[in-house]
């Protein structure tokens, strides 16, 4: 009850005293011990997150109600909806549509239904998105481990229309190819869009983009840098990055396949230096048990980066580990600066893009932390 009073949308299995029987609706009424009505929620029989609240209203959600909720989420992004753009249309709990993700890439929509309750709503979601967006295709990227905890199959495939294997999008004048069936997440890291644009404005001299994936930060740096080195351990991602560079006729970015941790140490030993460095690693902490190791990993890469930054250089450093708070991440940065014997100035404190809003009272919706720092 305390969680609900704080506007959190989840109820865990341990807090449920009586569960519905049979194979009923994916949306259930929730009441307390005194039989007071609390609202309606998506019910997941096999998940530790047993209930995900949809509504506090007295009437059960109908298909029309679901459509209006989807419409409200889409309308919040109307300023981002142009034919070449990419944005998140539905951000799960933050849009009061828990465990439902929808991303737009030009004329294509990618949908994720990450709980058994959301899975049951999939036909309604497809219908609503068709009506509201009129896409050329809707594709599901439900190949995520979270579905296993719901007793759901990991699947990918077309839900409606035609989806080509590659879609072109634009971002602040740059063009990118998106691999919808096989790219990271739903095909592209949309949550860093505004951070890439902001960081690109601080780029100069010689740049280094670590964990580059398909080269998005590197290409933004390239417009102001003399040269950029983009590093990642994934060969397929780097091939896509080179593809993106060629699409934009960018010739001052070199791509290198290597382990970033080892490479940063090699650069330090060689005395190699840069004017701007980006650190955008995958989540080091998938759960609380991994938090200690994650802290060490974040400190290591930030320490090494600070040691090879030239005076007045810019460090763009991010963490997408929800388990690591912004406060703790900043403390790690401070520890790294002390060990590197460098002063650090906070130029910008940033987070996930505006189409990934944070729901007050639900810290799980605040996962991406990004700092743009000047290292002196």
DSSP characters over 246-302: HHTT--SEEEEES-HHHHHHHHHHHT--EEEEEE-PPPS-SSGGGHHHHHHHHHHHH
Strands 205-210 vs 225-232: parallel, antiparallel or unpaired: parallel
What CATH code is assigned to 2-55?
A: 2.30.130.10
63-164 has which fold? Transcription Regulator spoIIAA (3.30.750)
Distances in Å between the alpha carbon of 221 and those of 14, 85, 245?
48, 20, 12
Number of helices and strands in the chain (H, E)? 10, 18
- Please give the DSSP secondary-structure letter assigned to residue 25: -
Q: Which CATH class is domain 189-375?
A: alpha beta
Q: Are β-strands 369-375 and 309-319 bridged in parallel, bridged antiparallel, or unpaired?
A: antiparallel
**Alpha-carbon distance 287 to 290, whole Å?**
6
Beta pairing class for 309-319 and 274-279: parallel
| Cα distance between residue 125 and residue 127, in whole Å | 5
Would you name the residues annotated as active-site residues?
Answer: 320
Give the model's pLDDT for residue 164.
95
Residue-level pLDDT at 187: 93
DSSP summary character for residue 324: S
CA-closest candidate to residue 356, choices 368, 373, 346, 374: 368
Distance linking the first and last C-alpha atoms of the chain:
49
Give the burial string for 23-43 (b: 16+ CB within 10 Å, else e): eeebbbebeeeeeeeebbbbb
Residues 6+ apart with CB under 8 A from 222: 203, 207, 228, 245, 250, 252, 253
CA distance 147 to 161: 24
In which element (H, E) is residue 131 found? helix 122-133
DSSP per-residue codes, 168-203: EEEETTEEEEE-TTTSSTTSS-GGGHHHHHHHHTT-
What is the three-class DSSP state of 236?
Answer: helix
pLDDT reported for residue 83? 66
Q: What is the pLDDT of residue 82?
A: 75
Rounded mean pLDDT for each run of 10 residues along the chain, 376 residues in total: 85 92 84 94 93 95 97 95 87 98 97 96 98 97 93 96 95 96 93 98 98 98 98 97 98 98 97 98 80 91 98 98 93 98 98 97 95 98
Contact 91, 112 (CB under 8 A): no
The domain locations on the chain are 2-55, 63-164, 189-375
């Amino acid at each position: 009850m305390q969680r609900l009073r704080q506007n959190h949308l989840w109820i865990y299995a341990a807090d449920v005293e009586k569960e519905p029987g049979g194979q009923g609706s994916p949306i259930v009424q929730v009441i307390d011990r005194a039989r007071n009505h609390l609202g309606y929620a998506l019910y997941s029989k096999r998940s530790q997150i047993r209930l995900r609240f949809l509504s506090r209203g007295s009437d059960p959600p109908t298909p029309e109600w679901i459509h209006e909720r989807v419409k409200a989420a889409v309308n919040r992004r109307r300023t981002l909806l142009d034919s070449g753009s990419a944005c998140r249309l539905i951000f799960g709990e933050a849009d009061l549509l828990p465990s439902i993700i929808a991303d737009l890439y030009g004329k294509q929509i990618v949908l994720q239904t990450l709980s058994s309750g959301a899975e049951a709503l999939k036909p309604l979601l497809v219908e609503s998105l068709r009506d509201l967006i009129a896409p050329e295709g809707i594709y599901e990227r439900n190949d995520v481990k979270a579905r296993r905890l719901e007793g759901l199959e990991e699947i990918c495939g077309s839900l409606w229309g035609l989806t080509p294997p590659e879609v072109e999008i634009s971002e602040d004048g740059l063009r990118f190819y998106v691999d919808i069936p096989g790219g990271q997440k739903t095909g592209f890291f949309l949550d860093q869009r505004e951070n890439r644009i902001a960081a690109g404005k601080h780029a100069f001299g010689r740049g280094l983009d670590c964990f580059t994936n398909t080269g998005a930060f590197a290409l933004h740096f390239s417009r102001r840098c003399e040269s950029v080195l983009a590093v990642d351990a994934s060969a397929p991602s780097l091939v896509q990055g080179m593809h993106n560079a060629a699409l934009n006729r960018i010739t001052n970015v070199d791509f290198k396949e290597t382990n970033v941790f080892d490479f940063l140490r090699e650069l330090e030993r060689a005395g190699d230096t840069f004017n701007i460095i980006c650190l955008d690693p995958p989540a080091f902490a998938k759960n609380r048990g991994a938090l200690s190791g994650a802290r060490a990993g974040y400190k290591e890469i930030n320490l090494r980066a600070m040691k090879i930054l030239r005076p007045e250089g810019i460090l763009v450093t991010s963490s997408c580990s929800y388990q690591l708070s912004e406060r703790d991440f900043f403390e790690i940065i401070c520890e790294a600066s002390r060990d590197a014997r460098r002063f650090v100035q906070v130029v910008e404190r940033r987070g996930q893009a505006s189409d990934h809003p944070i729901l007050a009272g639900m810290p799980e919706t605040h996962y991406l932390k990004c700092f743009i720092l000047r290292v002196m």
